[in-house]
Amino acid sequence: MKIAVIGAGPAGMTAAYVLAKNGIKVDLYEASDRVGGMSRTIELWNQRVDIGPHRFFSNDKKVNELWLELAENDYRMVDRLTRIYYNKKLFHYPLKAFNAFFNLGPIEAANCLLSYGKGRMNPLEDDGSFENWVSNRFGKRLFEIFFKTYSEKLWGISCKDLDADFAAQRIKKLSLFEAIKNALLGGRGNEHKTLVDQFAYPTGGTGMIYERMAQRTREYGGNIFMKTPVQKIHTENHIARGLTLENGDYHEYDHIISSMPLSLMVSRLPEVSEEVREAALSLQFRNTILVYLNIDSPDLFPDNWLYIHAPDLEMGRITNFRNWTPDLYGDENSSILVLEYWCNFEDDLWKKDDNFLINLAKKEIRETGIIGDSKILDGHVYRIPRCYPVYKRGYKNTLEPIENYLKTVKKLSVIGRYGAFKYNNQDHSILMGLLAAEGIINNTQPDLWDINTDYDTYQESTMITETGLVEI
């Protein structure tokens, strides 16, 4: 067999690696110059940094075993500290009761509890919106303080127009009651992934895992073509036959695994109906602009990252790579921060030049006060188009005809955040790539659409610790 994989993010890179390891001839095509997708690691100012904060955590045994196979002993357990910047104060996330009480003040704290109680007695209509879903679990006031501003920055739409499925996947069964219980118990025994306070992190950055996958894929005989974007996939009688590169070259394959943006891939299929094509083109991805600032201080603030809930600031999140592992910064005495801005292609911000964006980031980081009077040494801009699938309310109705059509196309698998239009974490995408490869190897047809960001585990529960994998 000869298999093509489109995209070298966590999903595509995993699929290619597993196939090559099992003796399958595989060609992987990546449009950029580096593997890892959004989980890649880059070099800046003699340090290594990720494309935003990317922690790895999974309870799935197969995923953890694969990750450890690549990481070997080159990882550290990182204690997570993340807080919310709101009203010029820092709130612990997950919630710490006394911190939240004193930052809000007794009156506001009482209002939040009253709002929660009111919501429990008279819940809002289940209209499928993110706003009502969260308000019913945390109360309207806490929604307005800790969810609304940040979510609308990220997605670019009202929380009324954001699908509740996003909350169901990311927050799951978490409520104010569960958050308070977690705070009182100090995190012991919590079952919510969003509350996990420690995670495994590679010494060479998140991208190290995928760099090693690429190296070993080549060693097993696989081909990886960088800076080689795919233009379209060819089908004949609902069977994937090959692909055309942007340079016009055509290559035939026995099976194609795609993690290219679902909207682009489907809209370019030769046999797709106009209805499905229009549905695919209506899917929207959100862009990210990352502005890295090199700050002349080794000790700015202790958080791994901060969520910015201030409506007067355009940025949505700040990551401090000094607080991950010392392996990233080595002998350097500066701290690299990355400020995240989210926008659409048509927004003015996406069209601004690098100098404007660096100056905006410098201005906003000063306004927070979190770096004091430390000198800003340099800035760097990194743009990521189509990185977040936007879950507009009712988006599943748009996806349904696309999924139904793709299920009729044989020898084609779609995986990953881009490819399956799912807001995956790394572990979700690794699992999709792993199962897609195993399906080809074993001549089975796993329903990859069933792998969603709300899965719990597909095998016995495990966890990566400092000493390796343990069952839980």
- The C-alpha atoms of residue 230 and residue 249 are separated, in whole angstroms, by 10
Integer distance in angstroms from the first to the last C-alpha of the chain? 39
Confidence (pLDDT) at 119: 81
Q: Which residues of the chain have pLDDT under 70?
A: 95, 169-196, 452-462, 469, 472
- The C-alpha atoms of residue 289 and residue 312 are separated, in whole angstroms, by 18
Confidence (pLDDT) at 175: 55
pLDDT tens per residue across span 406-415: 999 999 999 9
Confidence (pLDDT) at 207: 96
Confidence (pLDDT) at 89: 92
Q: CB 311: neighbour CB atoms within 10 A?
A: 12
Q: CB 302: neighbour CB atoms within 10 A?
A: 11
| Rg of the chain in Å (alpha carbons) | 22
**Assigned CATH topology for domain 2-37+48-76+205-282+395-450:** FAD/NAD(P)-binding domain (3.50.50)
Q: Do residues 84 and 307 make contact, with C-beta atoms less than 8 angstroms apart?
A: yes
- The C-alpha atoms of residue 82 and residue 461 are separated, in whole angstroms, by 25
- The C-alpha atoms of residue 26 and residue 348 are separated, in whole angstroms, by 41
Q: Do residues 141 and 115 make contact, with C-beta atoms less than 8 angstroms apart?
A: yes
Q: CB 113: neighbour CB atoms within 10 A?
A: 15
Q: Do residues 230 and 249 make contact, with C-beta atoms less than 8 angstroms apart?
A: no
Domain with CATH 3.50.50.60 in the chain: 2-37+48-76+205-282+395-450
How does DSSP classify residue 147? I
User: How many CA atoms are closer than 13 Å to the CA of 166, on its beta-carbon side?
Assistant: 25
- The C-alpha atoms of residue 362 and residue 360 are separated, in whole angstroms, by 5
Confidence (pLDDT) at 458: 43
pLDDT tens per residue across span 376-386: 999 999 999 99
State yes or no: cis peptide before 94, omega within 30 of 0: yes
Residue 265 identity (one-letter amino acid): M
Q: Is 120 exposed, middle or buried (0-12, 13-18, 19+ CB in 10 A)?
A: middle
- The C-alpha atoms of residue 70 and residue 67 are separated, in whole angstroms, by 5
Q: Is 109 exposed, middle or buried (0-12, 13-18, 19+ CB in 10 A)?
A: middle
Secondary structure class of 364 (helix, strand, coil): helix
Among the listed residues 161, 97, 409, 430, the one whose alpha carbon sits nearest the alpha carbon of residue 270 = 409
